[in-house]
């Protein structure tokens, strides 16, 4: 056992119980793993990886991560996504990671970009480079549920490409976000990556708030 694990034991993101990377259902503890089975979303084969339904304790954990500074949750969330993709698809098909960013204003008040933190951990664990290809314009909330006047804004472009086109040219991209609601953000961001040279783009999120999944 590494010293760091003694000082900072790995904890289940849903209940806080000490857990271990050695167990098959990591990052969850056994109890939460059993409970979460009914919330798991089966992979449908279309290049969209979504681990769970967005409800209950998982939803609480995502909100703590996004709004209460519980940044340690980035690692278990990254592990959830990694495990899901490994079980359903494999990582060999990706050359580079991209992520849906928060805007600069949000970044400066919060101090971290929640999806970038997850992307950095996936990058390190799977040895795939992560790039800041996308930027979000000011005046947009994090996701559809945060935005009250969504209908007014929906026709405008919220994101733009701000990366190096040489780095994305002909690449197989895995685009990350935290949760999906309408799917519009992922669709828009995926289109931007394709327009700017990506060969193909798969998408991955922790959870979906869509009712039809
Ligand atoms: Zn637990």
Q: Which residues are found with C-beta within 5 Å of the ion, ligand 1?
A: 12, 14-15, 17, 29, 32
How many A from CA of 17 to the centre of ligand 1?
6
How many A from CA of 117 to the centre of ligand 1?
22
Q: Pairing between strand 96-99 and 129-130?
A: parallel
How many A from CA of 36 to the centre of ligand 1?
10
Please write the tens of the pLDDT for every residue from 172-198: 999 999 999 999 999 999 999 999 999
How many A from CA of 29 to the centre of ligand 1?
4
How many A from CA of 34 to the centre of ligand 1?
9
How many A from CA of 15 to the centre of ligand 1?
4
Nearest alpha-carbon partner for 194 in 143, 142, 133? 133
How many A from CA of 35 to the centre of ligand 1?
9
Confidence band of 155 (pLDDT split at 50, 70, 90): very low
Rounded CA separation 157/125 (Å) = 33
> Is the pLDDT score of 205 beyond 80?
yes
DSSP code, position 83: H
Q: Is the whole-model pTM more than 0.75?
A: yes
How many A from CA of 203 to the centre of ligand 1?
26
How many A from CA of 112 to the centre of ligand 1?
25
Nearest alpha-carbon partner for 185 in 203, 199, 198? 203
Confidence band of 140 (pLDDT split at 50, 70, 90): low
How many A from CA of 47 to the centre of ligand 1?
29
> Is the pLDDT score of 212 beyond 50?
yes
Give the tokens for residue 76. Answer: 């278990």
Topology of domain 40-143+157-208 in CATH is Rossmann fold (3.40.50)
DSSP code, position 60: H
Please write the tens of the pLDDT for every residue from 59-101: 999 999 999 999 999 999 999 999 999 999 999 999 999 999 9
């Amino acid at each position: 056992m590494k010293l760091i694990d003694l000082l900072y034991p790995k904890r289940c993101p849903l209940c806080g119980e000490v857990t271990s990377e050695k167990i098959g259902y990591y990052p969850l503890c056994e109890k939460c793993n059993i409970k979460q089975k009914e919330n798991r979303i089966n992979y449908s084969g279309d290049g969209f990886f979504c681990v769970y339904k967005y409800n209950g304790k998982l939803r609480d954990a995502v909100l703590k991560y996004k709004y209460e500074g519980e940044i340690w949750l980035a690692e278990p969330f990254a592990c959830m996504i990694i495990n899901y993709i490994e079980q359903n698809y494999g990582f060999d098909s990706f050359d580079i990671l991209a992520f849906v960013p928060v805007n600069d204003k949000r970044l400066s008040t919060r101090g971290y970009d929640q999806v970038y933190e997850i992307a950095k951990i996936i990058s390190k664990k799977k040895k795939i480079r992560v790039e800041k290809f996308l930027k979000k314009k000011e005046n947009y909330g994090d996701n559809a549920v945060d935005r009250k006047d969504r209908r007014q804004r929906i026709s405008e472009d919220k994101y733009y490409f701000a990366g190096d086109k040489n780095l994305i040219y002909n690449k197989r991209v895995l685009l990350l976000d935290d949760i999906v609601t309408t799917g519009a953000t992922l669709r828009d961001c995926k289109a931007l990556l394709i327009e700017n040279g990506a060969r193909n783009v798969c998408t991955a999120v922790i959870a979906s708030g869509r009712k039809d999944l």
